[in-house]
Amino acid sequence: MSEIEYRSSGVPLESYELTRKDHRSQKQSEEISEQVRQQVDEDNAKCRADPAMAERRRQAFENAARLMQSFKKQDHEIMRWRVRLYCGHIIETKAHYTYSDPVAAGAYSKRCPECGRDGLTIVAFEPLGLCAEPPAPAVSPPSVLPKKPTRGELERRVKALEEENVRLRSQAPDEAAPHSRSKKS
């Protein structure tokens, strides 16, 4: 795994004071959420009016869910983050380890499990560490190299090859290379 430099913002989280930017970001998040809700309501109304469209939509959601499950990451690929939400509560969230902060990973807003408010922006964060230690690199067994022949073995092999060479040269040309016979014209 490559080395990622994880960022912190607004640390320590317990004493973080909201900024104008935080207020603007939360307001923008709420406006976007409302627009999305309106779009979903319109889309749902269209699906209720057209059963074929509703079935295509259901199938598309099932396909998307299967695809997302096929990309399940291992615990050593997930970074844990401690985040402060706009409401002031501090929670833990997770993101893929390749992101330097939870906002960059798409965790722009969250539902607060303490106060129940939804769509709260993350105003401060700090990395906690991976969910699990990366596995140790696989150790390949030492390669088994053939045993180096001894001098005696090499001398016997040379002698055997010389004897075969003499035998092949002593054979008649027709016996040694039947495919090289010349055609008489």
For 123-182, write each residue's pLDDT tens digit: 999 999 999 988 888 777 777 777 888 999 999 999 999 999 999 988 866 555 555 444
Q: How confident is the model at residue 185 (pLDDT cuts 50, 70, 90)?
A: very low
Whole-model pTM over 0.75: no
Q: Is the pLDDT of residue 92 over 90?
A: yes
Q: How far apart are CA 57 and CA 59, in angstroms?
A: 5
DSSP the chain: --------BSSSGGG----HHHHHHHHHHHHHHHHHHHHHHHHHHHHHH-HHHHHHHHHHHHHHHHHHHHTPPPGGGEEEEEEEETTS-EEEEEEETTSSSTTTTT--EE--TTT---SEEEEEEEEEEESSPPPPPPPPPPP-PPPPPPHHHHHHHHHHHHHHHHHHHHS-HHHH-GGGPPPP-
Residue ranges covered by each domain of the chain: 13-130, 151-176
More confidently predicted of 153 and 71: 153
- Residue 179 has what pLDDT? 53
pLDDT tens digits, one per residue of 22-47: 999 999 999 998 999 999 999 999 98
Question: Residue range 38-61: average pLDDT?
Answer: 92
